[in-house]
Amino acid sequence: AQSVAQPEDQVNVAEGNPLTVKCTYSVSGNPYLFWYVQYPNRGLQFLLKYITGDNLVKGSYGFEAEFNKSQTSFHLKKPSALVSDSALYFCAVRDFGRGSTLGRLYFGRGTQLTVWP
């Protein structure tokens, strides 16, 4: 079965410091992995994805994520946090099983990132 874990409900970091939001996954085959961000009372915005190739994926707003197959992780990172990065972040994994479940996403519970000035 596919699943995603975000072990931290909250991450707090000072502006200008590097940030990491953790994600681990479990899939039966090769994973397609995604990060989304949500601002209050808004929909989710796509940040980046890993399909294949380079393990370091670069995305929007200076974010990047590192795919680690041996640790089944896909942590989101940014070298220098901004106050405006404060939001709810979701990790998701794509299910490529057969039949009617083809293509659905499984989401983690989300991590609230707070960047303080």
Q: What is the closest distance, in whole angstroms, from the C-beta atom of residue 22 to another protein in the complex? A: 15
Point out which residues bind another protein (CB under 8 A).
9, 32, 34, 36, 41-46, 49, 51, 90, 94, 100-105, 107-110
Distance of closest approach, residue 33 Cβ to another protein, in angstroms = 10
**CB 87, min distance to another protein, A:** 14
Tell me if residue 99 falls in helix, strand or coil.
helix
Nearest CA to 34 among 107, 109, 111, 96? 107
Whole-number CA gyration radius for the chain = 14
